[in-house]
Structure 1
Amino acid sequence: MLRQLDTLRQGMYGGYYMLDSFTCRGSAEGDAMAKVEVSHDWFALCRFSPAKRLCLAAKTPKKMVSGGKGLNELREVLCGLETIVADMEEFVLFLKSYPSLCRQPCSRSYLSSGMCMFGRHSEYERTVSFLLQIGTENLSVLPIVGPVRVGKSTLVEHVCYDKRVRSYFSSIVFFAEDDLQGVKAEGNALQLQESGVIKHRNGESHGRLLIIIELIGEFDKEIWRRLCSLLSHMAHGSKVIVTSRSEKILQFGTTRAIKLNVLPQEAYWYLFKMIALGRADGEDYPELSSIAMEIAAELNASFPSANIIGTFLRANLDVGFWRKVLEHLREFNNKHLLMFGEHPVDLMQKDRHVYLWRMTGSSEALIAHRCYQVCSPQHKIPKLTMHDILCGRAIPRGNFEVLAWKSQIPPYYSYLVSCSIMTSRHVLKKRSRLESI
């Protein structure tokens, strides 16, 4: 059921993306938007389905079709959607017998305001299913792997808020990498809980523990050995979730790992459009929707970038303003590709510096040295925001911290960027050093 639901959801994203791409091609009159292509993986099965026969309306608007190729692409997408819907009959029957779940709304208003987790519903249910499963193993471990800022912590945090999970475990204990150094194999359950951060405790006597381990680097095998020795004496049904950027943690798993990747282009466009325009269709803002699609293509499927740039655009629904943002983004990306051979989002993920752009021209270079996340209640958040920097409302000096984005969903991270200003004299010196190398 989860796979079918995920296929249906991807079909929806693909359908919106195809419609928008054709609409944008028409409004752009054959410019760069004609290069937009849709990933067809989610409807590949339509080739083998008898439901692939399709009646296409004769009155298809010309602006939605760019020659014979465009018409064929549209036919293929509609074929895939028709096949997906035709195959949902069994899904609906099963769904009638599935218990209702109290869930945070996932409506358009929640999505556009950043109040719900996006694109991880199947992974969410898989994780909850693992935690509630009664197994024969003394220790069950689920690895969750994925690149930086792809949503691993957000997924786990939402799972820990699930009422089914909270009622099943006596305690939910979180361990950062440094917390594990104090774990001793000869300890007990109480000492183990005191070594980490208790996320939840329900006071039940069954004693089942849920241990969350968040790693940045690799897992020390000696620490893992001590932890396993301690957990082997825990109540039956205790579980462990380990998150990491490295796939080396897969060796510690006792079940199939969950791998989080960046969103597909179609899903990312749907998310970005909801943030920037506040709705899934762009009928009210056709020209803005066309520009937004080009901007989304420049953001390298980054969650923080979607929120930073999307809210920046939404504050000013002016075509000229949006075009200027697009020009700056393209120049920004091209400059880093020429200088470093990588997209600036990839550079920031590796904690390498990038040169930020601003709407107002300046001879001074604004450098972002690293991006990191903190828990807002436990950390002083700077008042200076990335929007202030981009608009030129603030011109700080020296080294300073900037609030890039503050998430509205658990774990409520604030994303900060360490920045500095480099004068034109220093920029020329640095450029001459690079050229000499």
Structure 2
Amino acid sequence: MRTLCIELEPRTLLGHSLLFFVRFNNYTSNLAGGWAPEMEPLLSAIVGDLVTRALSMMVKRYVQYKGAEEKLEKLQRLKGLLLRIDAAIEEAEGRHITNQAMLQQLQMLRQGMYRGYYMLDTFRYRAQRAGGELSLSSTGRSLALSRFSPSSSRCSLFSVCDATSMESLLDAGSSDNLDKMLGSLERMMGGMREFFVTFLPSYPRISRQPYSAYLFLDQVMFGRQMEMETIINFLFRSQAESNGDLGVLPIIGAARVGKSTLVEHVCLDDRVRDHFSSIVFFTGDDLDGGILASMRGSGVVKQQSLAPTPGRGSLAVVELARDMEEETWRRLYTSAVNHMSPGSKILLTSRSEKTASFGTERALTLNFLPQEAYWYFFKTIAFGSSNPAERPELAALGMDIAVYMNRSFMAANTVAGLLRANLDARFWLKVLRCLRDFASRHLSLFGEHPTDLLRKDQPVYIWTMAKRKNVVVMRDIYQHRSPQSSEVPRITAQDVLSGSVTSLGRFQAVAWRSRIPPCFTYLVSFVVSPTDKHAVIGKKRPRSRRDRI
């Protein structure tokens, strides 16, 4: 028995169904006339029940379609609103804004944009999954991907036009969240109309070269605009406003969260360079004696005026790789007060929360990006010049891949480079499965995500796409400031992950070359062994032989 399925708009289908059931009822009534009289009530009851159920199903489907249609219109509104917000933020980021209240408003708008795009992409790519899951064939050599043919411009946003599946995606909770998101962003944009129309044009433009989106993100610091302006505001504060004390601002955050990058960008800002006569960087080893008697000596001089200028102090940046004793800090601070000119400031970066007590200002804590902002960043650099909307199957996989990287900047740049070089769904699916196994293995063995272990300088089992049974362990991560080409290994972390490295033993590889100041080259130490036993035995490199991160 064959069934003919005709896709019609629900209201048209409902009308045709009513006409069909009326004619079918008349036909069965005429047919029943030739049957025995005692069979007529039974046949009429069966036909009546079938008609009632069919009409109930069609009415329910029509209501679902209307609800999904309204929600699709809301998502279209959200998409248009996000495009306007994106354009407004891009215009604001192209100007030198100094007002702190305006910067806070802009940061709120930026965070709202990231959340909005995350919600839009979630609906879009959840619909992609609902329409057809990615699945490998039994041979493992081919990938079955659903093909969708949108029948209307409204459906083209999601490439799925099935009202029932869309209704299941846009459930009551999601619909409420969508309404809240729309209302929040619309109020935010409405409240900032004066900001963009009246105040923004009064600030000077920042000259910069045009880049495509992913190249531009590769050239600028992402997601730290508010923190940067907070530090600059502290540096410009007069000594009288700080109760006459030498100002110290602790900047605290986990390993590789971006402390050094943030401070380097602050020190390269023209406003900061014009404000201080000298800028010097120190490490904890430079200051073990607790003496800062001179702005020269062991520190790295970033800027030095030829002739001292009255009223211009000095800026000292102290990078602590480990805890400093409170007594040592007291001696250091006393030495700095006695030898640094009025108007000088100290920026103190550290991983330890104890450092917060060393500051004259409330410590600035750097956290990893929210998942919404991280996905915005990762999506841009993973797709490069390609449009994610044109590759929804890849974008659906990319959202899952981004979750398993635990908001790590290094992981984003390393894995995104691997994905951008091969925009194939089979390859991305394999990467996703490797990352999922990578995370679940460490959670079951150590109770922690592997990126959390790496931030604690602990070795981890690294994932690889090779079919060989070798065990690969990442034992160390360290960095070089602008290393010579002879010092940089030719092997990259992408080579190890893709399985193209076949050698055993210990070797170094380049994980990532940052293109933004301080332009670190991040190196990793791998140990490849045919057995688990040999992979985990061995000492890490002494900290004295590594640059601090």
**TM-score, with length taken from structure 1:** 0.85
From 131, 156, 162, the counterpart of 2:235:
131
Which residue does 1:23 correspond to in 2? 124
Aligned equivalents of 2:176, 2:385: Cα separation in 1 = 28
Which residue does 1:67 correspond to in 2? 171
From 91, 94, 102, the counterpart of 2:195:
91
Shift of 1:110: 5.4
- Could you tell me which amino acid in structure 2 is paired with residue 424 of structure 1? T
From 350, 363, 377, the counterpart of 2:456:
350
SS of the residue 2:368 aligns to: coil
Which residue does 1:391 correspond to in 2? 498
- Could you tell me which amino acid in structure 2 is paired with residue 24 of structure 1? Y
Deviates more, 1:99-108 or 1:210-219: 99-108
Deviates more, 1:310-319 or 1:372-381: 372-381
Q: Check if 1:261 corresponds to 2:362.
A: no
Q: Check if 1:330 corresponds to 2:436.
A: yes
Aligned equivalents of 2:405, 2:474: Cα separation in 1 = 16
Cα gap change, 1:122/1:138 in structure 2, threshold over 3 Å: closer, same or farther? Answer: same
Q: Which residues of 2 match residues 132-281 of structure 1 at below 5 A? A: 132-136=236-240, 137-182=244-289, 184=291, 187=293, 191-206=294-309, 208-233=313-338, 234-278=340-384
- Could you tell me which amino acid in structure 1 is paired with residue 408 of structure 2? S
CA deviation map 1:119-168 (0-9, x unaligned):
00000111111112223124001111111111110000000100111111
- Could you tell me which amino acid in structure 2 is paired with residue 72 of structure 1? D
SS of the residue 1:394 aligns to: coil
Cα gap change, 1:285/1:261 in structure 2, threshold over 3 Å: closer, same or farther? Answer: same
Shift of 1:69: 2.9
Instruction: Check conservation: 1:106, 1:116, Cα contact below 8 A.
Output: no
Q: Which residues of 2 match residues 242-321 of structure 1 at below 5 A? A: 242-278=348-384, 282-321=388-427
Shift of 1:10: 0.7
Which has the higher Rg, Structure 1 or Structure 2?
A: 2
Shift of 1:81: 0.9
Cα gap change, 1:429/1:408 in structure 2, threshold over 3 Å: closer, same or farther? Answer: closer
**TM-score, with length taken from structure 2:** 0.69
Shift of 1:77: 1.3
Shift of 1:382: 1.2
Shift of 1:317: 0.4
5+ residue gaps, structure 1: 34-57, 431-437
Shift of 1:177: 0.8
Which residue does 1:51 correspond to in 2? none
Aligned equivalents of 1:95, 1:202: Cα separation in 2 = 35
Instruction: Check conservation: 2:473, 2:535, Cα contact below 8 A.
Output: no
Instruction: Check conservation: 2:488, 2:510, Cα contact below 8 A.
Output: yes
- Could you tell me which amino acid in structure 1 is paired with residue 453 of structure 2? L
- Could you tell me which amino acid in structure 2 is paired with residue 283 of structure 1? A
Shift of 1:235: 1.5
Aligned equivalents of 1:395, 1:295: Cα separation in 2 = 25
Deviates more, 1:334-343 or 1:126-135: 126-135
Instruction: Check conservation: 1:399, 1:421, Cα contact below 8 A.
Output: yes
SS of the residue 2:510 aligns to: strand
CA deviation map 1:403-427 (0-9, x unaligned):
1111110011111111111213737
Cα gap change, 1:163/1:364 in structure 2, threshold over 3 Å: closer, same or farther? Answer: same
Shift of 1:95: 2.9
Shift of 1:74: 1.7
Shift of 1:364: 1.2
SS of the residue 1:195 aligns to: coil
- Could you tell me which amino acid in structure 2 is paired with residue 285 of structure 1? R
Shift of 1:91: 2.7
Cα gap change, 1:71/1:199 in structure 2, threshold over 3 Å: closer, same or farther? Answer: same
Cα gap change, 1:131/1:101 in structure 2, threshold over 3 Å: closer, same or farther? Answer: farther
From 504, 510, 524, the counterpart of 1:417:
524
Which residue does 2:97 correspond to in 1? none
Instruction: Check conservation: 2:214, 2:385, Cα contact below 8 A.
Output: no
Aligned equivalents of 1:128, 1:110: Cα separation in 2 = 27
Cα gap change, 1:378/1:217 in structure 2, threshold over 3 Å: closer, same or farther? Answer: farther
Aligned equivalents of 1:102, 1:425: Cα separation in 2 = 54
SS of the residue 2:219 aligns to: coil
Q: Check if 1:407 corresponds to 2:542.
A: no
Shift of 1:362: 1.3
Instruction: Check conservation: 1:295, 1:326, Cα contact below 8 A.
Output: yes
- Could you tell me which amino acid in structure 2 is paired with residue 119 of structure 1? G
SS of the residue 2:422 aligns to: coil
RMSD value, Cα? 2.7
SS of the residue 1:294 aligns to: helix
5+ residue gaps, structure 2: 1-101, 135-153, 538-549
Instruction: Check conservation: 1:166, 1:202, Cα contact below 8 A.
Output: no
